[in-house]
Amino acid sequence: MDILVTISLVFLLATFIPYIFYTLIFLLKRPIPLPTTKPSTYPPVSIVLPTFNESSIIKKKLKDIFSLDYPLDKIELVVIDSSTDDTPEIISSFFKDIQTIQLILIQESNRRGLAMALNEAYAAATHDIVVKTDCDSLLDPSCLKQAVSHFSNKTVGAVTGTNTEVIGGSQVESDYRNIQSYIQLLESHLDSTFIFHGPFSAFRKKCIVPVSEDSLADDTELALLIRRQNFKVLFDPHIKFKEASHSAFWKRRSQKDRRAMGLVKVLFQNKDILFKSGLYGSLILPFNWWFLILSPWFILFSLLAVTVTAFSISPLLSLTIPLSLILSIWLGQKDSLGPLQIFYSLFDTQVSLLRSHFLLLTNTNKTGIWDVDPELREMMQ
């Protein structure tokens, strides 16, 4: 029994080691966000917007792009659309009398998946800085200026920002984003960050290469491919956006587990640069392997060991483990765990990752196509 308890504790500790280690380096290095510098010039920028059946929110998104604090005549909007609803018609009529932002509207004959659509849109973009944004997100007006300022540094190949407000008010997502921002800030300070976000990522056009056609994490994959070319790929918390999300356990699974699958796939596809390529390959990638690939299994083994220990004392006692787990999930998804809520957000992430491993092993979603979440679109309105 003692052995099982020890095993359980060792696994639990192993789960948290990367978090503890990152916290210690964070305290040692005390990374601060890169200073906000106004760009001296405003270079032309291409904004890429992929759309699939977004008729309920597309107008709002276009208005959001027009409210950016940036000379609008320096912006080209590349929309790549595979809708079967009237999204492209709404876009065309919105742009009918517009003279500032130049529109390039590419209509796909059928839905091929986001990654393939983006590869085509990036190739069509004509400017040296290319920003990618999702329809179901809102941008802070200053984010384009802030992102552009980084590209005057020739070593920077890409930059992403942070979700400062979760539309819909999900505490689970908000806690997870806060933790992730610390991780990304540290990684950026050390070298480059691993995860890039769909609502806002900016890339140096000459560094853009096609991502895998079935990619489920296109922004992270592209950032990594740019880091492979020895450019820095940074996180800047001054680049702010809003995105909708759920707290409910089952509703979170479809979005979060798919994104988790995407990240795990990117790590596997690029395992050849593990322990190479400076601190990125020798520290940041290995720790992301630990966060994303090892930790979920440690949690599972730890729970199993504790359940077996409880069973060896009394079968009835062993029931308390799954029951307390269910109770924690029930309270956590209602954002009602008080001070423990933040741990729940980590647990929820680990659930996604573990499930994503099983989904990948069973070859689920090989196409890179998924159902767009209508409830998240409603929250946007």
Interface pattern 81-120 for Mg ion (x via CB under 5 A) = ----------------------------------------
Three-state DSSP at 193 gives coil
Q: Which does 81 bind (CB under 5 to 8 A by kind): Mg ion, ligand GTP, none?
A: ligand GTP
Q: Closer CB to ligand GTP, residue 64 or residue 136?
A: 136
* Least gap, CB of 324 to ligand GTP (angstroms): 30
Give dist(CA 126, CA 151) in Å, integer: 16
Selected binder of ligand GTP within 45, 376, 379, 380 (CB under 6 A): 376
* Whether 234 contacts 191, CB under 8 Å: no
Degrees to nearest 5, angle at CA 295 with 291 and 298? 170
Q: Which stretch binds ligand GTP (CB under 6 A): 48-56, 178-186, 344-352, 359-367?
A: 48-56
Q: Which stretch binds ligand GTP (CB under 6 A): 66-74, 186-194, 340-348, 372-380?
A: 372-380
Distance of CA 98 to the CA centre of its chain: 32
Selected binder of ligand GTP within 113, 157, 296, 332 (CB under 6 A): 113
- Of 182, 189, 46, which is closest to residue 104 (Cα–Cα)? 46
Q: Which stretch binds ligand GTP (CB under 6 A): 106-114, 182-190, 293-301, 346-354?
A: 106-114
Give dist(CA 343, CA 261) in Å, integer: 22
* Whether 115 contacts 80, CB under 8 Å: no
What sign does the dihedral 56-246-300-15 (CA atoms) show? positive
Q: Which does 157 bind (CB under 5 to 8 A by kind): ligand GTP, Mg ion, none?
A: none
* Least gap, CB of 235 to Mg ion (angstroms): 19
Q: Closer CB to ligand GTP, residue 80 or residue 233?
A: 80
Q: Count the alpha carbons within 13 Å of 99 in the hemisphere toward its beta carbon.
A: 0
- Interaxial angle between packed helices 320-332 and 341-361, expressed in degrees from 0 to 180 and rounded to the nearest 10: 110
Q: CB atoms < 10 A from the CB of 369, how many?
A: 16
Interface pattern 18-47 for ligand GTP (x via CB under 6 A) = ------------------------------
Selected binder of ligand GTP within 23, 255, 282, 364 (CB under 6 A): 255
Q: Closer CB to Mg ion, residue 138 or residue 211?
A: 138
* Whether 262 contacts 185, CB under 8 Å: no
The helix (run of H) or strand (run of E) holding residue 264 is helix 249-269
Q: Which does 135 bind (CB under 5 to 8 A by kind): Mg ion, ligand GTP, none?
A: ligand GTP
Tell me how far apart the terminal alpha carbons of the chain are, to the nearest angstrom: 55
Q: Which stretch binds ligand GTP (CB under 6 A): 21-29, 95-103, 163-171, 371-379?
A: 371-379
If one asks whether residue 136 binds Mg ion (CB under 5 A), the answer comes out as yes
Q: What is the DSSP letter of 82?
A: -
Burial readout 141-156 (b: 16 or more C-beta within 10 A, e: otherwise): ebbbbbbbbbbeeeeb
Question: How many binding residues for ligand GTP (CB under 6 A)?
Answer: 21
If one asks whether residue 348 binds ligand GTP (CB under 6 A), the answer comes out as no
* Least gap, CB of 134 to ligand GTP (angstroms): 4
Q: Closer CB to ligand GTP, residue 81 or residue 221?
A: 81
Three-state DSSP at 220 gives helix
Ranges within 192-211 binding ligand GTP (CB under 6 A): 198
Beta bridge partners of 80: 50, 106
Give dist(CA 260, CA 81) in Å, integer: 25
If one asks whether residue 52 binds ligand GTP (CB under 6 A), the answer comes out as yes
If one asks whether residue 54 binds ligand GTP (CB under 6 A), the answer comes out as yes
Which residues make up the interface to ligand GTP (CB under 6 A)?
Answer: 50-52, 54, 80-82, 111, 113-114, 117, 134-136, 198, 255, 259, 369, 372-373, 376
Which residues make up the interface to Mg ion (CB under 5 A)?
Answer: 134, 136
